Every structure is written in structure tokens, then in C-alpha cells.
Structure 1
Amino acid sequence: MGLQSLLALDIPIWTAITQFAHHGMLFVPIGYTFGAGIFKMDSIRGGSSYGAGVFASDGTREASETELALKEHRGKYMAAVVKRLSLA
């Protein structure tokens, strides 16, 4: 993955984070809590330490098992953080 591809993933995320903060919303990155799956390089995949993603292009490619697992992890991680905040 070249620098241009990496920037294409990060720029929309950073733009969204500033909008979230402007409206008082919370952004919870998953960091490296997904374990070794976040570093898998055996196939093209979306997602990063900021959150889940899928390389879909023109719709001819289905989400991989790793992308789906990362998406599920992202949802569970966010739910756990919200639960902890609601108990505080």
C-alpha cells in the first residue's frame, strides 16, 4: 500500500474526528486492541487502529473475514466504552 493509499484512509477519519469534537461527540479509536489481526498483510483489507473499514471499490469485492471480524470488534469495543462511561 503506497503513501497515497494510506493518506486516502486517514484524511477522512481526521476530518470526521474534528467534526465530532465540534459537535461534542465522542470518538473512540480501537487502537491495537484487535490484536494480531490489525497487522495481517496476507490480503488487501480495510481498517486501521482508528476503526473498521472495507475496500469495496465498485462493489465487486465482498468484505473479507478479517474486515468483518474487525467491524464486529469495533462495535463491541465501542459498546464497552460507552457502558463504562454510563456507569461513571
Structure 2
Amino acid sequence: MNGALGLGGEAGEVQDYIKKVLFHGHKLDKEKLKEELGDVLWYIGYLAYIQGMTLEEIAIANIEKLLLRYPNGFNFKDSIMRRDTELMNIR
């Protein structure tokens, strides 16, 4: 639970920082963004570790999912007509 809540909190900090840059006139500080993204990455790694997964296997599974969903690369049509969802409904 700590990992999931920490991840959500840190992702929210990234969102809040980007909001300030886009809408509040703050100048983008790449080092600040890198720090916040590092916190997100730490929680992802922590959650993966306590579940016995590696970041590599998570990345590979995500790539496989996206290749199924967007076999020709991302496009709006495939985003609306999701092949992976259709294939899961067949099973």
C-alpha cells in the first residue's frame, strides 16, 4: 500500500509541477523535473521489487501490449478501435 500511495503522490507532484510550468508562468527546470521523475521511478522500482518483478520484464510486457494495440505505430483509429480489447473479448 505504501508503494502504491507513494507512486500516486509522486506522480501528482510531477503533474503539479508541469501545471505550474504550463499555466502559472514558471520556467521549466529540467533538474527539478528529473528529481520528481526519479521519485516516481523509485516507487515503480519498489513496487516491482516487492512483487518479484524486474523493470525489464515490466517494460517488455508493456511493449508487447502496445505492439498488439498499435501494430503499425500509434494512430487515432487504432486508439478508438482497440484490437487488444477486441481480442480479449473473443477469448
User: Do Structure 1 and Structure 2 share a fold, with TM-score over 0.5?
Assistant: no
> Where on the TM-score scale, by shorter chain, does this alignment land: which range?
0.3 to 0.5
Name whichever structure is richer in helix by fraction. Answer: 2
Q: Which of these two proteins has the greater Rg computed from alpha carbons?
A: 2
